Amino acid sequence: MHWWIPTNASSYGGDVDRIFYIILYITGFVFLVVEGGLLVFLVRYRRREGRTAAYIHGNNTAEIIWTTIPAVIVVMLALLSQKVWSTVKDPAHFPADAIPIGVHVKQFEWQFTMPGPDGKLGTDDDIFRKNELHLVVGRNYAVQLTSQDVIHSFFIPAFRLKQDVVPGMTIVAWFRPILTGAFDLACAQLCGVGHYRMQATVYVHSAEDFARWQTAQGAPATAAPVATDTTMGSMAMPHSGGTR
Amino acid sequence: MTAAAAPHDAGLHAGHDDRPWLRRYVFSTDHKTIGIQFLFLSLTFLLLGGLMAMVIRWQLGFPGTPVPGGSILPDAMAPGGVIRPSFYNALVTMHGTFMIFFAVMPLLTGVFANYLIPLKIGAPDMAFPRLNMWSFWLMIPAGTLALAGFFVEGGSAASGWTAYAPLSNSPLYTGVSAGQILWCVAIIIFGASSLLGSVNYIATVVNLRAPGMTWMRLPLSVWALFITAILALLAVPILAGAIIMLLFDQVLGTHFYLPTGGGQPLLWQHLFWFFGHPEVYILILPAMGIVSDVIANGSRKPIFGYTSMVFAIGGIAGLGFMVWGHHMFVSGMNPTLGTSFMASTMLIAVPTSIKVFNWLGTMWRGNIHFHVPMLNAIGFLSMFVIGGLSGIFMAATPVDMYIHDTYFIVAHIHYVLFGGSLFAAFAGIYYWFPKMFGREMHDGLGRWHFGLTFVFYNLTFFPMHLLGLGGHMRRLYDPTQYPFLAPMQPINVFVSVSAFLLMAAQLPFVWNFFWSLFRGPKAPLNPWRDNSLEWTVPSPPPHGNFVETPTVYRGPYEYSVPGEPEDFLPQDRPAPARQEAH
Amino acid sequence: MDAADHKHPNYVAVWGGLFVLTVIEVAAVYMRIPRHLLVLALLLLAAWKALLVALYFMHLRFEPKRLALVALAPLPLGIILVVAVLQEFAKR
Amino acid sequence: MAPAVQPAAPPAEEGIGVYTQKLGMWVFLASEVMFFTALIGTYIILRWGSAESWPVPQDILNIPLTAFNTFVLICSSVSMVKAYAAATHDDQKGLRLWLVLTVLAGATFVGVQVLEYRHLIHEGLLPSGIRDGSPLAARLVDSGKLTATAAGLFGSAFFTMTGFHGFHVTCGVICMTFVTIKAFRGGYSGGRFHGVEVIGLYWHFVDLVWIILFTIVYLI
């Protein structure tokens, strides 16, 4: 019964969570104060016999107080967020040693091109997978997102990363997994009839486990897509999905 | 483009009314009849949008099972009652389109602006009565065309109410061509209707105010509707231009947003959201205006900080044009733009908090009467606070990166749109029903309706915050496909059941509305003991409103003035001995 | 309450101005002028002509100042939109 | 224009000091400015996006013809303002003459625009791009001076902007004919000339948009 934010599995995920919890506490406190105050006012100043309302038109000091306090809070939040935002999205802050991964999205599947043992993309030993991404824990990765048809969105909840994939543009996003295991990768932007069944899985291995997996891929020359098609969900689809 | 505006038919006197039946009720140019026509139109589309929401919630709560009563749907939509993914996307799109363009916007700007502005400022009618009639009658083709989308080959538009290109651009990606074209034409016609309305409201408020009704004596509902009209005036043409280009991409083969033809998909998002964000303020500002009037009346106390409330409305409208990028933080937009949009979005929380604290200040040391409009206004205030606070999570770019396009956003939308605009619209309907129809609505049914709606509303939409935090994406036909969402399916079931009960909770209102129309007790002139000018004329007011133009002596919120026999002081009552404060 | 005095500026002079400015614009295009200078000059000339039409033909000069506010209200919004979207192509 | 005029009523609250029809027209023109901002803004954005491969307007469009067309529209603006001047002095004959001239000038502008469109489409420039095998394609695309995508964008933006401006001019001409007919029936005599002034505002606005369009699309 896991009903909260999935455990963080990426380097900057902790910062994102920290800002989330700061905002949660501030807004939680303001929520209690405002709604509590509302309830108190409703009970205390409800209509009673012989009661008359106070003839007040406003109070400038109160206005100034509840203008500056929210302004200060939101400016502080903005500065806080800007630091994390630039580490995640600003190309200047991308780690130099990031391993490039080609992510090509088309309507209703993810195509990953992972560099083979030589560590470079576009060479013959690249490993091509559909809806399966294999990474090493603790290494920086830079995904080069390209789309073939419509806008999709590269979303890994555990890594707190979301980046729309816009056709006609190559957008780079980076992350560093810090936990091993299998994490879900989803499409977060409505991309047509099969938007709901575009899930993929990110396997984060330890270094030697990854090496074993990499050699186990047989002759590295097979650039053709290996037909381990795990797209269809386990549940039998009652009806074939729409017109696609 | 009717440029030669006919001169205003002067000499409109209350009382005698010799217009033929057709001109009086169908093609009426009386702002009150047009307001009531908008009321019936928007309530119909509200019901339609609500029914679509029920089917969506059924599919999300119980994926793959036949929708009860779904067997009437044709096979293209729902073979054997189980709706197809393509029809689900169409439902999601049209639910958003109908609710925003054809239900909430006409309900707030169409009904209350049309009905209240002339009455509240002491004018006999709108500045351009004929344009006003056109503004309603353009809504009929717009609504019909949007609805017709369901019955054309390929189904209706299925690319979200935001119609992101290139998904919305070519039938290649969604299998929908005629539906998307109908959607585009419908929204363009709606844009024309909204423009005509806005021109009317601005010209009326600026030029037709009664003597003594200075800018600082305008009720806040008129201020809100006036500034909303300015927002609509400047934002809707951008949408019309963007959608015309989308229509040409679909029809003429142009390449504005098609990457294959060199177009820019992000261009559509920029143009759409440049309209989109003023649009959501168009949906909330009238609600804030109505709530300001109702809370001041309910608390029998002058509004707290009238001038700062007016500047807050202006601030929200001004900043509203500079924040659209916060819808596009993760859309591939330039990250430096993300920073500037975060800053402007954070700033817009300030005028909003000013308004919330001023409403609380109004109730502080008041003498609160819990009549039904006041209950709904308090519902607005309490729910809008949650909606506003959840907005701050989205303004912080890193957090938005995680919760963008998840159910956290859907929860925020519904807290400000349903919890905000709709509760205020209910407050407005309960409040001005006696003036509109001359009959009072049943008080008990009104309280039942508010109580049930308030409870089931929170049970439906608060858990969506949890779904969003779990990473549940928007517009998913069947969430159980994703392994990481399957454990959250019980929340979806809970939300769906609450949604059905929320729909059922509207029955008391529907019954109350139609029953009171014909058999409600006769309404007195001023049931709520309010100060504004519309309560000084009989209900329903005759054609031409005022027998002779009223003169205004004070602001609209002079409640509980010390030394006055009653706790309210109508605006047009001449000042007795001493000179009024302002 | 409308503008009682209908002052009519010398329309023919304004017409002459517009005609001359248009001729200059078209001539500038055919002359060898560096690209950036040409674009700037053309934009300024267009703005000048637009101002002439607005001030004299549409009588903005003789109307109350607040009407000019209504006329100018949309310009900053248009500039904000275009400049913001042009940022898309600035630093990628 | 005070509502429900009755004796000794204090003047209606001081609005913006402009009668309602004129204010309504100016407010409507503000929304039209936003509409053309969307269209012209898109042209600027698309052009900035594909800067170097954008076709040089002189290669495709006929500058002298449109320069003459601009001159025609400016003349129609002048005749419009002359008509307004005549209306204020209650000179019905002058009003009718200038209104007819304005309608004729407006119609000529639209005619020249339609001619230009026919010529361009014949040459091969379409909203979807340049028709292959057309003389324009031979001259520009095949010789590599112009990429197909840039031509597509230019065609799309050009036809949308100038098309909608032409549409607005056509609506202006139609409304102008109604105003002219009413003028011939003496509808604007005795100081009731607001209709002429309001249509004049719309007409000058359409001329103003063309001045900007002409510079941005044809010259730069």
Per residue in B232-265, pLDDT (tens digit) is: 999 999 999 999 999 999 998 888 998 888 888 9
Q: What is the mean pLDDT of residues A67-81?
A: 95
Which of B268, B274, B339 to mutate against chain C (most C CBs within 10 Å)?
A: B274
Task: Give pTM, 2 decimals.
Answer: 0.92
Q: What is the mean pLDDT of residues B399-414?
A: 95
What is the per-residue pLDDT for C32? 83
What is the per-residue pLDDT for B469? 94
For residues B515 and B440, the answer to whether their CB atoms sit within 8 Å is: no
> Among all chains, which residue has been given the structure tokens 């007040």?
A56
Q: What is the mean pLDDT of residues C7-29?
A: 88
Q: Cβ separation of B401 and A27 shorter than 8 Å? A: no
End-to-end CA distance of chain C: 55
D171 Cβ contact list (under 8 Å, min separation 6): B1, B3
> Across the interface, which of B234, B264, B337 has its CB nearest the CB of C73?
B234
Q: How far is B235 from chain C (nearest CA, A)?
A: 9
Task: Give the closest residue to D72 by CA, choosing from D95, D104, D120.
Answer: D104
What is the per-residue pLDDT for A240? 32
Q: Are strands A132-136 and A161-165 parallel, antiparallel or unpaired?
A: unpaired
Q: Cβ separation of B304 and A188 shorter than 8 Å? A: no
Q: pLDDT higher for B261 or A200?
A: A200
> Among all chains, which residue has been given the structure tokens 């989205």?
B394
- Does residue B359 carry a catalytic annotation? no
Q: Name the helix (H) or strand (E) containing A158.
A: none
What is the per-residue pLDDT for C5? 54
Partners of residue A101 on adjacent β-strands:
A143
- CA B255 – CA D151 distance, rounded (Å): 10
- Does residue B279 carry a catalytic annotation? yes
Q: Does residue D141 have a pLDDT over 80?
A: no
Q: Does residue C41 have a pLDDT over 60?
A: yes
Torsion angle defined by CA atoms of residues C50, C52, C58 and C62, in that order, rounded to the nearest 10 degrees: 140
- Does residue B301 carry a catalytic annotation? no
Q: What Cα–Cα distance (Å) separates residue B428 from each residue in B108, B228, B293, B352, D189?
A: 9, 17, 10, 21, 46
CB atoms within 10 A of CB B581: 11
Q: pLDDT higher for B448 or C1?
A: B448
Per-residue pLDDT tens digits for B281-291: 999 999 999 99
CB atoms within 10 A of CB B21: 7
- CA A169 – CA A187 distance, rounded (Å): 17
Burial of residue B359, with CB atoms counted within 10 A of its CB: 0-12 exposed, 13-18 middle, 19 or more buried: buried
Indicate if A96-215 has the same CATH topology as A13-49+56-91.
no
CATH of D20-50+68-219, one of 1.10.4030.10, 1.10.10.60, 3.30.420.40, 1.20.120.80: 1.20.120.80
What is the per-residue pLDDT for B19? 76
Residues 33-52 of C with CB under 8 A from D: 38-39, 42-43, 45-46, 49-50
Which of B200, B255, B333 to mutate against chain D (most D CBs within 10 Å)?
A: B255
Most confident of B15-29, B392-406, D187-201: B392-406
Q: Which chains touch A (3+ CB pairs under 8 A)?
A: B
Task: Give the closest residue to B291 by CA, choosing from B444, B448, B420.
Answer: B420
> Across the interface, which of B1, B198, B236 has its CB nearest the CB of D168?
B1
For residues B132 and B35, the answer to whether their CB atoms sit within 8 Å is: no
Q: What is the mean pLDDT of residues D167-182?
A: 95
Q: Establish if D27 touches chain C: CB-CB under 8 angstroms.
A: yes
Residues 167-196 of B with CB under 8 A from D: 195
Q: Which chains touch B (3+ CB pairs under 8 A)?
A: A, C, D
Per-residue pLDDT tens digits for A207-225: 998 888 888 875 444 444 4
* Residue B412 DSSP SS3: helix
Per-residue pLDDT tens digits for A35-51: 999 999 999 999 988 88
What is the per-residue pLDDT for A228? 40
Q: How far is B475 from chain D (nearest CA, A)?
A: 29
Cβ contacts (< 8 Å) between A162 and chain B: which residues? Answer: 330, 401-402, 404-405
What is the per-residue pLDDT for D18? 85
For chain A, which residues make up each domain, given as ranges? 13-49+56-91, 96-215
- Does residue B352 carry a catalytic annotation? yes
Which of D27, D102, D169 to mutate against chain B (most B CBs within 10 Å)?
A: D27
Q: How far is B362 from chain A (nearest CA, A)?
A: 8
Q: Does residue A157 have a pLDDT over 70?
A: yes
For residues A70 and A77, the answer to whether their CB atoms sit within 8 Å is: no
CB atoms within 10 A of CB D53: 15
In chain D, the residue whose alpha carbon lies closest to the alpha carbon of B118 is: D3
What is the per-residue pLDDT for C74? 93
Q: Which fold has domain A13-49+56-91?
A: Helix Hairpins (1.10.287)
Q: Cβ separation of C19 and D11 shorter than 8 Å? A: no
b/e string for A158-182 if b means 16 or more Cβ within 10 A?
Answer: bbbbbbbbbbbbebebbbbbbebee
Structure tokens that stand for A115 in this block:
């560099």
Cβ contacts (< 8 Å) between C22 and chain D: which residues? Answer: 67, 70-71, 74
Q: pLDDT higher for C32 or B458?
A: B458
Q: How far is A18 from chain B (nearest CA, A)?
A: 9
> Among all chains, which residue has been given the structure tokens 């969003």?
B468
Structure tokens that stand for C39 in this block:
């674009």
Q: How far is A231 from chain B (nearest CA, A)?
A: 10
Of the given ranges (A234-243, B169-178, B292-301, C5-14), which has the lowest mean pLDDT? Answer: A234-243
> Across the interface, which of B266, B274, B321 has its CB nearest the CB of C88?
B266
Q: Establish if B322 touches chain C: CB-CB under 8 angstroms.
A: yes
Q: Does residue B12 have a pLDDT over 50?
A: no
Residues 9-68 of B with CB under 8 A from D: 10-13
Q: Grade residue B523 by pLDDT with cuts at 50, 70 and 90.
A: very high
Q: What is the mean pLDDT of residues B101-115?
A: 95
- Mean pLDDT, chain D, as a whole number? 87
Catalytic member of B115, B161, B407, B432: B161
> Across the interface, which of A3, A56, A63 has its CB nearest the CB of B470?
A3
Q: Cβ separation of B166 and A167 shorter than 8 Å? A: yes
What is the per-residue pLDDT for A230? 39
Question: Helices B31-61 and B139-148: crossing angle, nearest 10°?
Answer: 20
Q: Does residue D151 have a pLDDT over 90?
A: no
Q: Establish if B334 touches chain C: CB-CB under 8 angstroms.
A: yes
What is the per-residue pLDDT for C4? 44
> Across the interface, which of C77, C88, C92 has its CB nearest the CB of B234?
C77
Amino acid at B553: Y
Q: Grade residue A137 by pLDDT with cuts at 50, 70 and 90.
A: very high
Q: Does residue B16 have a pLDDT over 90?
A: no
Residues 207-236 of B with CB under 8 A from C: 230, 234
For residues D36 and B45, the answer to whether their CB atoms sit within 8 Å is: no
Task: Give the closest residue to D95 by CA, choosing from D206, D190, D210.
Answer: D190
- Does residue B125 carry a catalytic annotation? yes
Q: Grade residue A241 by pLDDT with cuts at 50, 70 and 90.
A: very low
Domains and CATH numbers, chain B: 27-536 (1.20.210.10)
Which of A85, A88, A172 to mutate against chain B (most B CBs within 10 Å)?
A: A85
Task: Give the closest residue to B228 by CA, choosing from B379, B377, B353, B105.
Answer: B105
Find the DSSP H helices in B149-219: 171-174, 178-207
Q: Does residue B165 have a pLDDT over 50?
A: yes
For residues B123 and B145, the answer to whether their CB atoms sit within 8 Å is: no
Q: What Cα–Cα distance (Å) separates residue B447 from each residue in B323, B371, B385, B425?
A: 38, 9, 22, 15
For residues B537 and B119, the answer to whether their CB atoms sit within 8 Å is: yes
Task: Give the closest residue to C91 by CA, choosing from B525, D7, B339.
Answer: B339
Of the given ranges (A182-186, C70-74, D53-57), which has the lowest mean pLDDT? Answer: D53-57
Share of chain A above pLDDT 70, in %: 88
Q: Which fold has domain A96-215?
A: Immunoglobulin-like (2.60.40)
- Does residue B355 carry a catalytic annotation? yes
Which of D5, D19, D26 to mutate against chain C (most C CBs within 10 Å)?
A: D26
- CA B16 – CA B118 distance, rounded (Å): 19
Q: Does residue B569 have a pLDDT over 70?
A: yes
- Mean pLDDT, chain B, as a whole number? 91
- CA B74 – CA B154 distance, rounded (Å): 12
Provide ipTM, 2 decimals.
Answer: 0.90
Strands, E assignment, B320-390: none
> Across the interface, which of D49, D201, D214 has its CB nearest the CB of C58?
D201
Task: Give the closest residue to D155 by CA, choosing from D132, D175, D173.
Answer: D132
Q: What Cα–Cα distance (Å) separates residue B352 from each residue in B283, B284, B315?
A: 14, 11, 9
b/e string for D103-119 if b means 16 or more Cβ within 10 A?
Answer: bbbbbbbbebbeebbee
Q: Does residue B20 have a pLDDT over 90?
A: no
Q: Establish if C73 touches chain D: CB-CB under 8 angstroms.
A: yes
CA atoms within 13 A on the CB side of B310: 11
Q: Cβ separation of B333 and C80 shorter than 8 Å? A: no
- Does residue B369 carry a catalytic annotation? no
B12 Cβ contact list (under 8 Å, min separation 6): B124, B125, B543, B544, D3, D4
> Among all chains, which residue has been given the structure tokens 């205030």?
B381
Q: What is the mean pLDDT of residues B22-28?
A: 83
Q: Does residue A227 have a pLDDT over 60?
A: no
> Across the interface, which of A24, A53, A153 has its CB nearest the CB of B299?
A53
Q: Does residue B342 have a pLDDT over 60?
A: yes
Q: Cβ separation of D18 and C75 shorter than 8 Å? A: no
- Does residue B326 carry a catalytic annotation? yes
What is the per-residue pLDDT for B199? 96
Size of interface C-D (CB pairs under 8 A): 132
- CA B281 – CA B355 distance, rounded (Å): 14
- CA A223 – CA A233 distance, rounded (Å): 25
For residues B273 and B299, the answer to whether their CB atoms sit within 8 Å is: no
Q: Does residue C1 have a pLDDT over 90?
A: no
Of the given ranges (B98-107, B435-444, C53-62), which has the lowest mean pLDDT? Answer: C53-62
Q: Are strands A109-114 and A161-165 parallel, antiparallel or unpaired?
A: unpaired
Q: What are the backbone angles phi and psi of residue B481, rounded to the nearest 5°?
A: -65, -30
